[in-house]
Amino acid sequence: MKIFYSDEHRKHFPPFELFDGGKRVPYFENPDRMDRILTALKKTDWAEFIEPTDFGLDPIHAVHDKAYINFLASCWTEWLDSDPTLAEAPETHAFLPATFALRRTPRVPSSLHGKGGYYMMDLSACIVEDTYKASLASANCALSAAEYAFSNQQPAFGLCRPPGHHAGKDYAGGYCFINNASVAANWLSLKGKVALLDIDYHVGNGTQEIFYERNDVLTISIHGDPEFEYPHYFGFADETGAGAGLGFHRNFPLPKDTDDVKYLSTLDEALNMIKEFAPEYLVISAGMDIFDGDPLGTFKVTQNGFTEIGKRIYALDLPTVILMEGGYANEALGTNTVNLLENFK
């Protein structure tokens, strides 16, 4: 199986993030996640690692607002230039705004911190010196996997970091800066109908927003109920699309302690929707944080559950692009990822 991966992700490693209540903690979305997955994949006899191709900015601009992408590109340099004392120990800092826009006005502020609050959803999307470079490499992993699936009609895995499904058209959030799955799905939509299934523990709010009024990409998300889970403002069952996209989005919010049986039953319902839509390509936002014991989740999916999830998705018999999203139980992360992927080898 082709695994598209870039070491560029290591350049994105914020020194901290802020949890609810203002507690400063080590960054959960860290390079160790990729190392655990790489180690597990290298023990198999079917993983072939490939550097991604640079697709340029056009596929990204097709999904994201150009001014937002420009903000990601220039934020760190502009911040350092505004306060020379930051340059004394930049590795101890991360750019975060103190004020967030309520989006009741379309006006984009001119100040850096104003733009930060406009283009960032929360305090986990920390920007450091090479966040933008790492995000571009991550998007190129997704696009390279999509190109391979299209050209060869075979599955491919994009080992993407940073993840992407919380990034909206013009905002970062939840460790995500460029929506890798949406960029890949949009690229594939020029070739034929696409279904995008998000199995991360948290709702793919950015993906939902990006395709909400489109009917050429079916989007489905299975996740922790936003009544109690991040990001709280998206992912409810009655959000089913709008305009031309009405009926082409579906959320499956699930309760705490969802186990293999409940999860697989819901997955079957989602897969039946995909069959009815009859896409030519499938994109999976693969979050491993549904695992029993993940520090940022409440589900009880087992390692055998990941094997069964992969088996049922594979049975759709579609060219499939699998892209890495969340998963923070690092000790089990490699095994869980291999269990999901081994069906597609």
Structural domains in the chain? Answer: 2-55+130-344 (3.40.800.20)
Residue 238: predicted pLDDT: 98
Say if residues 285 and 200 touch (Cβ distance below 8 Å): yes
SS3 label, residue 43: coil
Q: What mean pLDDT do residues 108-130 have?
A: 94
Q: What mean pLDDT do residues 149-166 have?
A: 98
* 166 catalytically annotated: yes
Lowest mean pLDDT among 16-20, 31-35, 255-259, 305-309: 16-20
Residue 86: predicted pLDDT: 87
Catalytic, out of 9, 165, 166, 223: 166
Lowest mean pLDDT among 80-94, 147-161, 245-259: 80-94
Q: Is the pLDDT of residue 85 over 90?
A: no
Mean pLDDT of all residues belonging to the chain? 96
pTM, to two decimals? 0.97
Element (H, E) at 116: helix 112-119
Q: For the chain, how many residues are written? A: 345
Q: What mean pLDDT do residues 52-78 have?
A: 98
298-326 pLDDT, tens digit per residue, is: 999 999 999 999 999 999 999 999 999 99
Say if residues 139 and 178 touch (Cβ distance below 8 Å): yes
Residue 345: predicted pLDDT: 87
Cα separations in angstroms, 293 against 109, 258, 303: 41, 12, 11
Percent of the chain with pLDDT over 90: 91
Q: What mean pLDDT do residues 255-265 have?
A: 98
Strands (E), the chain: 2-4, 17-18, 24-25, 48-50, 156-158, 194-198, 217-224, 249-254, 281-286, 320-324
